[in-house]
Structure 1
Amino acid sequence: MKIPATLQHKPVVVSENYERVDGRLARSTDAKGLSLGLAQWNDSEKATLTAKVWRTAGKSWSSQSEELPLHRVLDLSILLCRSLAHFREAYRYEHLYDPQEPVIDRVALQGDAMTVAICTDNESIHEDIQLFSRALSNDDEMISERLRTLSRILKDMGY
């Protein structure tokens, strides 16, 4: 399916074969494409750049397709990387985190810091963190491949 260019999100750069590379869901996913473009809520004064995951519900585009501002995509990447770093050493804790200090990190961003922490408000955190850790371990090869690729691209760009 071609990503529509006539809807409110205006794609500029696309990956229309995403269903072939969507991790463990490859070839059986409803996520058919990714795009970078102009936000659906743009006004004529200022363009907001966004990333969008295009999902299908059979033959039509799904309302579950999601558009994110680019800084949020990067913030999610930061959250993921700090979480991966935590879980590499989490075996040291009985519950895979220190209940007395659930904050993993504070990442400085534009005058403040993004807190990365274990969600202690989750009533099932002890079970859920075990499942999360196992899933990270199971997906390590796939995640690592993407992180190595991202690292190489960032180095090529001078970061």
Structure 2
Amino acid sequence: MKIPTTLKHKPVVVSENYEQIDGRLAQNTDAKGLSLGLAQWNDRGKVDISAKVWRYTGEKWSRQSEELPLHRVLDLSILICRSLAHFREAYRYEHLYDPQQPVIDRIGLQGDAMNVAVCTDNERINEDIKLFSQALSDDDEMISERLRTLSKILKDMGY
């Protein structure tokens, strides 16, 4: 299915077969494509690039399609990787984290730091963190494949 080019987000680089590889939803997803392009919120004289997940309901392109600035996509990737690293060692803790020290890490970015922490405001955190950890374990093969691919690309780029 072709990603629309007549909407406010202007695709430049696309993956139009995303429904074939959308994790456990592959073959049965409304996420039909990914694109990098000119952001829909651009003003005259100001151009931002965004990443977009294109959703199609079967009848029309969905308003639930998500568009994110590239730095946020990368920030989410950093958050995912740091969380995965935590959960590799989380078995050490009775509740899969230290309630006395819920901050997992502070990652320096732009002169400050991104906090990575267990959400202790979640009243069901002890249940939810176990479900989260199990889901990470269940999806390990799929996530690992993507991380190995990302790692190879980053190494090839000199990072």
Q: Shorter-normalised TM-score: what interval?
A: over 0.9
Bigger shift: residues 56-65 or 89-98: 56-65
Per-residue displacement from partner, 1:83-132 (whole Å, max 9, x unpaired)?
A: 00000000000000000000000000010000000000001100100000
Following superposition, the deviation at residue 58 of structure 1 comes to 1.6
Structure 1 residue 95 and structure 2 residue 95: aligned? yes
Bigger shift: residues 56-65 or 131-140: 56-65
Q: Which residue of 2 aligns with 1:125?
A: 125
Q: Which residue of 2 aligns with 1:22?
A: 22
Secondary structure at the aligned position of 2:14 is classed as strand
Q: Which residue of 1 aligns with 2:8?
A: 8
Following superposition, the deviation at residue 56 of structure 1 comes to 1.1
Q: Which residue of 1 aligns with 2:72?
A: 72
Query: Separation in 2 of the partners of 1:88 and 1:12?
Result: 37
Following superposition, the deviation at residue 59 of structure 1 comes to 1.8
Q: Which residue of 2 aligns with 1:151?
A: 151
Amino acid at match of 2:52: K
Amino acid at match of 2:55: R
Secondary structure at the aligned position of 1:57 is classed as coil
Query: Separation in 1 of the partners of 2:143 and 2:88?
Result: 13
Query: Separation in 2 of the partners of 1:118 and 1:41?
Result: 32
Query: Separation in 1 of the partners of 2:34 and 2:124?
Result: 33
Q: Which residue of 2 aligns with 1:45?
A: 45
Following superposition, the deviation at residue 29 of structure 1 comes to 0.5
Secondary structure at the aligned position of 1:108 is classed as strand
Per-residue displacement from partner, 1:25-67 (whole Å, max 9, x unpaired)?
A: 0000010000000110101212111000000112210111000
The answer for unaligned runs of 5 or more in structure 2 is none
Aligned residues: CA RMSD = 0.5
Identity of aligned residues (%): 82
Secondary structure at the aligned position of 2:24 is classed as helix
Following superposition, the deviation at residue 134 of structure 1 comes to 0.2
Runs of 4+ residues over 6 Å off in structure 1: none
What count of residue pairs does the alignment treat as equivalent? 159
TM-score w.r.t. structure 1 length? 0.99
Q: Which residue of 1 aligns with 2:57?
A: 57
Query: Separation in 1 of the partners of 2:86 and 2:56?
Result: 35
Query: Separation in 2 of the partners of 1:122 and 1:100?
Result: 15
Query: Separation in 2 of the partners of 1:38 and 1:95?
Result: 43
Secondary structure at the aligned position of 2:6 is classed as coil
